[in-house]
Structure formats: structure tokens, C-alpha cells
Amino acid sequence: MSKLVRLFSLIFIVSFALMYLTSHMNSSQGYTSGNVLNVYNWGDYIDPDLIKKFEKETGIKVIYETFDSNEAMMTKISQGGTSYDISVPSEYAISKMEEENLLLPLDHSKLPNLKYIDKRFMDLSFDPNNQYSIPYFWGTVGIVYNPKMLDGKEIKSWNDLWDPDLKNQIFLVDGAREIIGMGLNSLHYSLNETNKDRLLEAKHKLDKLTPNVKAIIGDEIKLLIANEEAAIGVTWSGEAADIMWENEDIDYVVPEEGSNLWFDNMVIPKSSQNVEGAHKFINFMLDPENAAQNAEYIGYSTPNSKALEYMPEDMTSDERFYPSPELTERLEVYDNLGKKMLAHYNDLFLEFKMHRK
């Protein structure tokens, strides 16, 4: 036998031994495919104590993995390899996953705690009748600003950002739907506008904002606004909450013209090997006390109306993060506009970014 053959034989034997050992250890601990749950979620997006509590109550071992974008999550699920039982995509990703046949329909009879979800957040355009998804967290796109740096000036409207006095004072998130949407909202157009003349009008208006824009950036917006590198930022409510935690002078507003209402929802990928356990996990997270604990830990808005009763009043009464029904009626969920129209939004956004240079 050659050295190369012996080497490959040794590798095979070691690999087999490791697989057997892992299987034996899991079996000895009571973990089999029927009582292991693979959860795929955003980073730092669940209270770890709730995972321990779920494991203790159900005897199901949770294997928890994280992703940093909807696109990365969808790619990994579509490629297979790992049989995830739960994932938490955003609304437009849910629509795309439905189209690509990546999701299993939910059995609502196994989700008795679904009754606690606010009806405003059910049966939305990206998943009619919540056939495939259940709300996990929600929020808005809005404006963070530092009144101290603006001599006490309040920001209430998207159109306030075009004030000539705000030269070089605005950070924008690097997102086509968010920024083109800001232009559309400022003109009282829909965030899901498909009329190309109106989209071009919004882009031309954004071009006039250029002198006030200091930079178009990603996650670093949190640190830069908190450190007062600029007075204003356009970002998501969850990011705003983090910024306000770091700097108490910062405020957040959902503009009066309206804005985006975003959702992250729990789904069961089609590759799930533990559909029963996945339903148990979703129902567990819908329990009002568990939902309240999770919302306090994460700091995002819970769609669970009963959970609000278990949370501090200073959180639930804060209309910046729990806006009134009157305001939420003026908010829009992003529709899946299709590849061609989404590419058009991206092209307009790129032209806007190039216009700044």
C-alpha cells in the first residue's frame, strides 16, 4: 500500500470515528434529530436565557447560528447542507423565499399564542394570512437628530432635511429602498412607487439634498452619530435606540409624511427536520412573558400586544418606538417589486451617490 493510500485511509478512519463520537455523545445526552432544533437568526437577536428556558421546558436542544444579511441567509438556505428549522427573515425576503419555494406553510392550530399578536401586524402584503411567517420584531425608518447641535431646532418632517442650514450635517444609511423611499415620501408618493417619472422626480429632489449629506454609510452610523460627528442621521428605529442609549442628547422621529414599517418574522424553512419542534419554538416566543423579556433584552418593538403589559411603561408609552395607530396607518411595508424594478431603484440610488462626488 502506498503512503498516499495509507494517508487517505487514515483520514477516513479518523473522520468516521469523529462522526461516531459526535453521534454517540448527542445520543448519550438525549439529543436526536427529533429533539434538536436548528435556529438561524440575526446576531444578538434573542435573549440567551430564553433559549435555555425553551430547552428546559421542552427537552429540545437548540443549535443557534447567526447571519448578517437577508441575502446571506437566503443563499445558505437555498443551497441546503444545513437543515434549519427556524429562520427570521425580513418582509421582502419572506416574499422572495415564498416565490422560490423555500418555506413550509405553518399550522396555526399549533400556535395558540398567535392570538396575542396585534392585528395591525397580521395579514400583510408580503405574506397574506400569515401562511408562512409570524411577526417577531418590527420597527420604522426615521430620523435621529441631536437638538443640542441644531440650537434646539426640532426635526419633524423629511422635508426639514433640505434646510440649507444643515450643510454637511446628515448621515444617510446605504440602502436604496430607504433613501429613494425618503425622496418619494417627501413628495407624498408611495414607498412602492413604480411610476418611473415619479421615481426620477424623487431622485432629482435627492440630488438637491447633496450639500447637506456628509456621508452615506453602513453600521458605523451608530458610532458616528453617538459621537456627534454630524447632527442628523437617517436610519432604522432599532439602530436609533442603540444610538440614543449611547448619547442621551439624541432624539428619534418618524417623519409626519410617513415612512417604512419593517418586520422580521419567524419562518420554517422547507429543509426543516423538526417541524413539530419549530412550531413549539414559535409558540414559545409568542408567549407574552417571553416576548416581553425578549423585547426588553433586544430593545426593538414587539408585535405582541399582550407582552406590553409585562414591560416597563416608559418603553411601551414611547411613541417614537411604539407609534400610534394613526401614524402606523401612514407607514408602508416594502413590497417585493420584482428584479427589474428593484434594479431600477438601485440604479437611481447609485446615480444619486455618484452625483455627490
Closest CA to 143 of 120, 121, 166: 166
The three-state secondary structure class of 78 is helix
Helix axes 48-58, 288-298, angle to 10 degrees: 150
Q: In the chain, what is the straight-line distance between the N-terminal and C-terminal CA atoms, in Å?
A: 66
Cα dist. 232→102, 177, 239, 272 in Å? 39, 19, 13, 43
State the pTM of this model: 0.78
What DSSP assignment string belongs to 262-317?
Answer: EEEEEE-BTT-S-HHHHHHHHHHHHSHHHHHHHHHHH-SBP-BTGGGGGS-HHHHT
> Residue 203, exposed/middle/buried by CB under 10 A (0-12, 13-18, 19+)?
buried
Report the 10 Å Cβ neighbour count for 79: 8
Can you list the alpha helix ranges (DSSP code H) found in 69-226?
70-79, 91-99, 176-186, 196-207, 221-226
Is CATH 2.60.40.1930 what the domain over 139-261+330-355 is classified as, yes or no? no
Give CA–CA dist 111/79, Å, rounded: 29
pLDDT of the chain, 357 residues: tens digit per residue? 444 444 444 444 444 444 444 444 443 344 445 699 999 999 889 999 999 999 999 999 999 999 988 888 999 999 988 899 999 999 988 999 999 999 999 999 999 999 999 998 999 989 999 999 999 999 999 999 999 999 989 999 999 999 999 999 999 998 889 999 999 999 999 999 999 999 999 999 999 999 999 999 988 999 999 999 999 999 999 889 889 989 999 999 999 999 999 999 999 999 999 999 999 999 999 999 999 999 999 888 999 999 999 999 999 999 889 988 888 888 999 888 888 998 899 899 999 999 876
CB 217 within 8 A of CB 356: no
**What residue type is 351 in one-letter code?**
E
Give CA–CA dist 309/225, Å, rounded: 32
CB 307 within 8 A of CB 136: no
Q: Is the four-CA dihedral 333, 336, 341, 343 of positive or negative sign?
A: positive
CB 35 within 8 A of CB 61: yes
The domain limits of the chain are 3-137+264-324, 139-261+330-355
> Residue 327, exposed/middle/buried by CB under 10 A (0-12, 13-18, 19+)?
middle
Instruction: Report the half-sphere exposure of 195 (CA within 13 A, side-chain side).
Output: 8
Is CATH 3.40.605.10 what the domain over 3-137+264-324 is classified as, yes or no? no
Give CA–CA dist 224/171, Å, rounded: 9
